[in-house]
Amino acid sequence: MGNHEGKGIIYMMKSALYDLPVPLNLSNFWNFGSLLGVCLTSQLITGLLMAAHYTADTELAFSSVAHIMRDVNGGWFIRSMHATGASFFFVCIYMHIGRGIYYQSYYMKNTWWSGCSILMLLMAVSFTGYVLPWGQMSFWAATVITSMFSAIPYLGVLLVEWLWGGFCVGDGTLKRFYVFHFVGPFIMVVLVIFHIMNLHETGSSNCLGVSSDADITCFHSLYTFKDLVWIVIMLYCLVMACLWSPDLFINPYNYIPASSVKTPQHIEPEWYFLFAYCILRSVPNKMGGVLALVGSVFVLYLMPLFPRKNVLKGFAHNFIARMFFWDFVAGFIVLSVLGGCSIDMPLSTLGPLATLSYFGFFAILPFLFIDWGFSKKSKGL
């Protein structure tokens, strides 16, 4: 029985990584899926190594992180790989999503929805991990973000107290976040497997956006080599960033122990959450801000429901749609920049405008690829 099970696993891996039929015209933008797999593996390994020395206690968490950095052999490098690797993870997943939008991969519904679920879980895992060092920025980020749930009618206060494990952010909060941060990545592995299985059922999209059944090749060796090249490049950049600047993506305030009586002058999340944080700040109403924050990610789930035109598709073949796409990308970058700035004039007026641009893209997207019947009919030769 064990021999048959082993052969079954080998066959599944072979069909997934070796004999998988893929289109011949995939560009380098299709390499980000493999890079995400490497990022997830790196985060799991470094996270497990740090978990052996971390203590989820408000009195000991900060000192246990300092112990990892100073006393554990190679601990500073492991933590830097974990912290910097999270940023690389989000760069790859944002590029992966951007490619999916540009080439309309969201019409592969199950694959897209599982990918959106991975993004949501990744954000939750990253946020809880940001709290674990129990520095000043960690403590106040947990306080501000969890307090948003109080805007939920009727159940908001109960939900916040359950997240806190009491009436304020404290030891119960830290322990809850640690458990979720530890278990979450393994749930993500299951979602990734489900994501890959759905992708293999539908087949990969391509630059033209049409069926490529007549022009396919095996994943190995063309795409394994291309993936390997980009994996080496990414790992080289990651290691160099960790060696040259180990605290590149660590907020300076997180080197100060958490204190409930001293509030940082400017509270901000990690850079990969800044776009959502700016959207939250741009809406004056608390409930409206929370809805806009959730909607900024949840709107991705609605994209497979948009009308579809069964011809050459994608923004690459539609000039007007391409303009809106790059406007959306620019709006995302502007939101991220503004999210890291203090709320002063004239920046305070740019936030709402960038928010409108962000949501406006999704509002107009269903109408960009509809055939309105205005095109001229081709005449016979």
Q: How far is CA 262 from CA 9, 60, 128, 130, 217, in A?
A: 54, 19, 21, 19, 60
Per-residue pLDDT tens for 207-248?
A: 665 555 556 666 666 677 888 989 999 999 999 999 999 888
Point out the annotated binding site for heme b. Answer: 82, 96, 181, 195
Domain with CATH 1.10.287.980 in the chain: 268-370
Point out the annotated binding site for a ubiquinone. Answer: 200
pTM over 0.85: yes
pLDDT range class, residue 381, cuts 50, 70, 90: very low
Per-residue pLDDT tens for 286-345?
A: 889 999 999 999 999 999 988 776 555 678 778 888 899 999 999 999 999 998 887 777
For the chain, how many helices (H) and strands (E)? 13, 2
Show the beta-strand stretches assigned E in the chain: 21-23, 216-218
Quick one: three-class SS letters along 347-379? Answer: HHHHHHHHHHHHHHHHHHHHHHCCCCCCCCCCC
* CA-based nearest residue to 130, from 274, 277, 250, 290: 250
Provide the CATH number for the domain formed by 16-263 in this structure. 1.20.810.10
Residues identified as active-site: 200, 204, 226-227, 270
CATH fold, domain 268-370, is Helix Hairpins (1.10.287)
* Residue 23, amino acid: P
Domain with CATH 1.20.810.10 in the chain: 16-263
User: Is 114:61 a contact under the CB 8 Å cutoff?
Assistant: no
More confident residue, 128 or 18: 128
